[in-house]
Amino acid sequence: MASSTPKILILDTLRGICAFIVALYHFLHFENQHGALVEPGNKVLSAVDPFIHGSICIFFIISSYVMYLHLERNDYSLKLFLPFLGKRIVRLMIPMLACVALILAINASFQWYLGEPIAFSFPQLLANITLTANLVGEDWYNPIFWTLSVEFQFYILLGLGFLLIRKNPFIALLLLVGFCIGINYFYDTRGSITEFGSYFIIGIALALFHAKQFSATQLLLIIALGSIDFFLNQALFYYVIPLVSIPIILFVNFQSKFLQFLGETSYSFYLIHGLLGNWFLYFTLRYMDQTWQKILLLIGAFIVAYLGSHIFYLLIEKPSLKVVKQIHYKRNKLN
């Protein structure tokens, strides 16, 4: 595939929207000893919860789409596995480690402020920074870290299996989605790449269709089989918003500088929105109990989270991107 494959402009916008929806889910569920932003059992929240909860899987579709095209245009081979994985580790881990440091510092500050002994668990730290907390029974510092674990599993498997997929993409994806349907149906795969494998497979199918290596019929069949996997093995409505994102990726060619900016900084926002937005709600919710006041608090939480994430992007994520670019595959190849 030529490197001139046109960029899908909507992807950055979708990233930004998806990060917003994930943050909305977390803020709406905020509660502490002073109360809750939305009372438990609220009928409206209960109705929309299954939809917004599953929006996080849009990231999996976009990630596999982008990563497959990235390897394709760099003429990937197994001898490039370590540079590829090195790029992904730096891209993923530098901002994440900075987020972990912030969480530990804020937790220690709160414990000191409350007069409590500062609690620290090295096994929990090790499990978080190695993205294995769910495998060893430790708690995640940040509730979104589990998605980074799934992403990293995908990077390893894609790097090892790319050439097999490339050799016969349609047969390979058919076998993979069939495997996911069966394994997810008969076994408990929660927290693993297999549980969300069909999202990644659909993302690769979209990339192949975009590169004119897949027909519409082939793409629709992969989407249909992936949908069967979701229907059989995931909560009702969890997969609705991710499936809605598919025609948007295919047919919407929309560009907004503001939304594109939000998309470019979405990883920083994704990492620390809970830390900053929940911090804001922790100190303000006790003074607000009217519905209109809580709406203002929700808006305030987003403002604080976006401002803080922009600073985080400038100080942490943007410099890490420069490090990623220093890890080369080959001379005269794209990075």
Residue 1 within any structural domain of the chain: no
Of 122-131, 270-279, 283-292, 302-311, the range with the lowest mean pLDDT is: 283-292
Note the pLDDT of residue 228: 97
Specify if 308 maps to a domain.
yes
Instruction: Check if the beta carbon of residue 14 is closer than 8 Å to that of residue 58.
Output: yes
Within the chain, strands assigned E span 31-32, 35-36
Burial of 41 from C-beta contacts in 10 A (0-12 / 13-18 / 19+) = exposed
* Size (the chain), residues: 335
Average per-residue pLDDT for the chain:
91
Percent of the chain with pLDDT over 70: 96
In 137-265, where does DSSP find H-type helix?
145-167, 169-186, 197-210, 216-233, 240-251, 257-264
- Report the amino acid identity of residue 299: I
pLDDT digits (tens, 9 = 90+) for 77-128: 999 999 999 999 999 999 999 999 999 999 899 888 888 888 889 999 999 9
Is pLDDT larger for residue 183 or for residue 252?
183
Give me the sign of the Cα torsion angle 139, 145, 147, 149: negative
DSSP symbols for 121-139: -HHHHHHHHTT-HHHHTPP
Model confidence band, residue 138 (pLDDT cutoffs 50, 70, 90): very high
Lowest mean pLDDT among 45-59, 153-167, 309-323: 45-59
Q: Which of 90, 48, 47, 74 is nearest to 162 (CA)?
A: 74
Burial string for 95-113 (b: 16+ CB within 10 Å, else e) reads: bbebbbebbeeeeeeeeee
Per the structure, the complete domain to which residue 165 belongs is given by 10-325
Residues 6+ away with beta carbon under 8 Å from 150: 60, 191, 192, 193, 195, 196
Q: Residue 325 is encoded by which pair of tokens?
A: 């670019």
Of 90-99, 179-188, 324-333, which range is least confident? 324-333
pLDDT of 7: 57
309 occurs within a structural domain: yes
- Cβ distance 243 to 284 under 8 Å? no
74 assigned to some structural domain: yes
Q: Looking up tokens 């245009």, which residue turns up? A: 73
Task: Assess if residue 316 is contained within a domain.
Answer: yes
The residue written with tokens 């519905």 in the block is 291
Count Cβ atoms below 10 Å from residue 239 Cβ, excluding itself.
Answer: 23
- Domain tally, the chain: 1
Q: Is residue 333 part of a domain?
A: no
Count the Cβ atoms, other than its own, within 10 Å of residue 180: 26
pLDDT score of 116? 86
| Residue 123 is assigned to a structural domain of this protein | yes
